[in-house]
Amino acid sequence: MRPVGSKYFLEEPLGRGATGTVWRARQREAAGAEAAVQGQPGETVAIKVLKEELASDPDIVMRFLRERSVLLRLTHPNIVRVRDLVVEGDLLALVMDLVDGPDLHRYLRENGPFSPVGAALLTAQIADALAASHADGVVHRDLKPANVLLRQYGDQMHPLLTDFGIARLADSPGLTRTHEFVGTPAYVAPESAEGRPQTSAVDIYGAGILLYELVTGRPPFSGGSALEVLHQHLSAEPRRPSTIPDPLWTVIERCLRKNPDERPSAENLARGLRTVAEGIGVHANSAQIAAAEGVGALLAPDPAPAAVPGAPGDADPTQVLPHGAGAYDPNAATSVMPHTGHPVGAADPTAVLPNRGAADPTAVMPPVPPGQPGQQPGQQGATGGPGGPEDPHPWQNQLRAARDRNEQTQVQYLDPNEDPLRRRPQRQVARPQQQPPQQPRQQRPQQAGYGQPQQGGGYGQPQQYAPPQQQPRQQPRPQRHAPPPPERQEPRRAPREPRQRSANPMKIPGLGCLKGCLFTIIILFVASWLIWELSPLQDWIGTGRGYWQELSHWYHQVTGFIGDLGGGSSSSGQ
Ligand SMILES: Nc1ncnc2c1ncn2[C@@H]1O[C@H](COP(=O)(O)OP(=O)(O)OP(=O)(O)O)[C@@H](O)[C@H]1O
533 Cα–ligand 1 center, Å:
70
Instruction: Identify which of 280, 309, 308, 306 has the alpha carbon closest to the alpha carbon of residue 292.
Output: 280
- pLDDT above 50 (res 473): no
477 pLDDT higher than 90: no
Percent of the chain with pLDDT strictly greater than 90:
32
Stated as kind and residue range, the H or E segment containing 107 is helix 104-111
Mean pLDDT of 202-221: 97
Q: Which listed residue (84, 97, 142, 302) is catalytic?
A: 142
pLDDT, tens digit, 9 for 90 and up, residues 338-386 = 232 333 333 333 433 333 333 333 333 333 333 333 333 333 333 333 3
Query: Is the shortest distance between the CB of 146 and ligand 1 below 6 Å?
Result: yes
How many Å lie between the centroid of ligand 1 and the Cα of residue 483? 28
Of residues 416 and 168, more confidence is placed in 168
Cα 117 to middle of ligand 1, angstroms = 26
Question: pLDDT-derived band of residue 116, with 50, 70 and 90 as boundaries?
Answer: very high
Q: Angle between the 201-216 and 104-111 helix axes, to the nearest 10 degrees?
A: 20
**SS3 assignment, position 195:** coil
Strand, coil or helix: what is 3?
strand
CA gap 392, 287 in Å, rounded: 53
**Residue 360 annotated among the catalytic residues of the structure:** no
CA distances from 417 to 1, 178, 354, 422, 424 (A): 17, 19, 22, 6, 8
Q: What share of the chain is helix, strand, coil (3-state, %, to 5)?
A: 35, 10, 50
- Under the banding of pLDDT at 50, 70 and 90, the label for residue 185 is confident
- The string of pLDDT tens digits covering residues 374-410 is 333 333 333 333 333 344 444 444 444 433 332 333 3
Q: Alpha carbon 74 to chain centroid distance?
A: 20
For residue 17 and ligand 1, the question of a CB distance below 6 A is answered with yes
Residue 164 has pLDDT above 90, yes or no: no
Cβ 184 under 6 angstroms from ligand 1: no
Report the 10 Å Cβ neighbour count for 429: 16
Q: Quick one: average pLDDT of 256-271?
A: 98
Least confident of 153-157, 212-216, 292-296, 334-338: 334-338
- Residue among 70, 220, 125 at smallest CA distance from 469: 125
pLDDT above 50: residue 92: yes
> What's the pLDDT at 28?
85
pLDDT for 168: 62
**382 Cβ inside 6 Å of ligand 1:** no
pLDDT score at 279: 97
CA 470 to CA 270: how far, in whole Å?
A: 9
Strand positions, DSSP E, 432-573: none
Question: DSSP code of 197?
Answer: -
Kindly state if the Cβ of 103 falls inside 6 Å of ligand 1.
Answer: yes
How confident is the model over 305-321, as a mean pLDDT? 50
Q: Tell me, what's the pLDDT at 38?
A: 75
Mean pLDDT estimate for the chain = 69
pLDDT of 331 reads: 28
Atom number, ligand 1, closest to the C-alpha of residue 163: 17
Distances (CA, A) of 550 to 432, 521, 525, 554, 564: 77, 18, 14, 6, 21
Of residues 523 and 331, the one with the higher pLDDT is 523
pTM for this predicted structure: 0.61
What is the best residue among 8, 49, 161, 163 to mutate for testing ligand 1's pocket, by most ligand atoms within 8 Å of CB?
163
Q: Please name every residue paired with 48 in a beta bridge, in sequence order, or none if there are none.
A: 22, 94
Q: Give the C-alpha separation, 251 to 127, whole Å.
A: 12
pLDDT at 472 > cutoff 70: no
Taking residue 382's Cβ as centre, other Cβ atoms within 10 Å add up to: 19
pLDDT of the residue at 169: 64
Q: Give the pLDDT of residue 24.
A: 96
How far is 485 from 55, CA to CA, in rounded Å? 18
325 neighbors 302 (Cβ within 8 angstroms): no
Question: Residue 369 C-alpha to ligand 1 middle, in angstroms?
Answer: 28
- Taking phi over 0 as left and psi of -120 to 50 as alpha, with beta for the rest, 526 belongs to alpha
